[in-house]
Amino acid sequence: MKKIEKKDIWLLAAQVAVWLVIICAMPLATYLSTQDGHATRTSFLVVWGLFQSPLVIYFLNFYLFGPKLFFKHRYWWFTLINLVLIIGLNSQFFYVFFNRNNIPNMPEMGPNMWIGFFSGFLMFLVLNCMVAAIAIGIRHYIRTREIKQQLKDEKAKNTEAELAWLKNQINPHFLFNTLNNISSLCQIDADSAQDAIAQLSDLLRYAMYETNKKMVPIEGEVEFMRNYISLMKLRCNEKTEVTTSFDVKQNMEIAPLLFISLVENAFKHGVSSSRTSKIDIRLLQNEGELIFNCDNTNFPKDDADRSGSGIGLENTRRRLDLMYTNRYTWEQSLEDDIFHVRITIKNQ
């Protein structure tokens, strides 16, 4: 059973208020114009006689027949029960019809009176059907809004969970590759390895404590990428040329660790120990947009090489879809053995 919420009480109160206005409008107008209590009472009884049946039909359809029958596609039961209810609530017509000979002072009903009688009954039938339709229409509108809001809330929850999962997937992958770099460095230069460990500690501190927010200052991300690139360069030889350019202002926030997978991908697939390698990473903040460019030589890994699972590009695109829906463009190409990625993010 659905729990009654505050909004349900307000909805009921609003509907009762509307019906009170409809029923009391004519008696109030009568009283203001005549100042006659008897005429006002008579006016109220006439209006109540007219709207008593539609009132019952409305609330029963809104709170019972709509949710239990109509919206569960039980249309035949819905129609049948409404017709029986409408006829029952307007049974005075049938009472007059079948007992006209026993009603005192009942005039003889000629053709015109019969036409008026059945026209009145038809009018009440149509009025009640219209009220039932209005009740279902209002209920459908409210139900549709509630469903849309629930879907929106569920989508927001799923988005937050997926973003957390994607970010957590990036961090271990980044840690795995960096530790491999430092492990290799330990065999060559222990002092440099110690400095690299301290630098890695700073990177992990940022990744663990500064990236728990939805958005972070761009200067922190730039510093993170600078340090990360510095660590990755440690395992590169003299045949690798790494160039960087970070031209950003200090008044912008972006999703944390958004570009690090692309940087990691450039070193993973763009560096060869025996061939000339180039990596060019640029981040530029123009008016109204942020542009990230990454170019690197392309040395595809063979099936036996397990150094990378290829999740970097996929994760980055998924995060962009979630965080910057309809606000980013992605360009990707491979020309003359140079792999190019360009991401443009527009401001709000």
User: Which domain CATH number covers 234?
Assistant: 3.30.565.10
If asked whether residues 121 and 260 sit together in one domain, one would say no
Assigned domain for 174 exists: no
- pLDDT on residue 307: 42
If asked whether residues 267 and 213 sit together in one domain, one would say yes
Assigned domain for 168 exists: no
Domain count, the chain: 2
What tokens were used for 129? 């059907």
User: DSSP string spanning 103-145?
Assistant: STT-----HHHHHHHHHHHHHHHHHHHHHHHHHHHHHHHHHHH
Assigned domain for 272 exists: yes
Assigned domain for 292 exists: yes
If asked whether residues 192 and 293 sit together in one domain, one would say yes
If asked whether residues 213 and 139 sit together in one domain, one would say no
- pLDDT on residue 297: 93
If asked whether residues 135 and 242 sit together in one domain, one would say no
| Distance from C-alpha of 23 to C-alpha of 62, rounded to nearest angstrom | 19
- pLDDT on residue 159: 65
Assigned domain for 196 exists: yes
What are the CB-based long-range contacts (under 8 Å, 24+) for 165-169? Answer: 166/315, 166/318, 166/319, 166/322, 167/211, 167/256, 167/257, 167/319, 169/311, 169/315
**3-state secondary structure at position 60:** helix
User: DSSP string spanning 21-36?
Assistant: HHHHHHHHHHHHHH--
Residue where a domain terminates, one of 107, 126, 152: 152
Q: Which of 333, 247, 250 is nearest to 295 (CA)?
A: 333
Q: Which of 217, 261, 207, 270 is nearest to 243 (CA)?
A: 270
- Amino acid of residue 251: N
If asked whether residues 23 and 146 sit together in one domain, one would say yes
Assigned domain for 183 exists: no
Q: What is the DSSP letter of 250?
A: S
Q: Which of 303, 265, 268, 262 is nearest to 181 (CA)?
A: 268
Q: What is the mean pLDDT of each run of 10 residues along the chain (348 residues)?
A: 79 91 88 85 84 90 91 91 85 64 59 67 83 92 88 74 62 67 75 80 80 85 88 82 89 86 87 90 90 91 50 79 89 91 89
Find all residues with CB under 8 Å of 70, minimum gap 6, and list them.
61, 78, 136
Range of 47's domain?
6-152
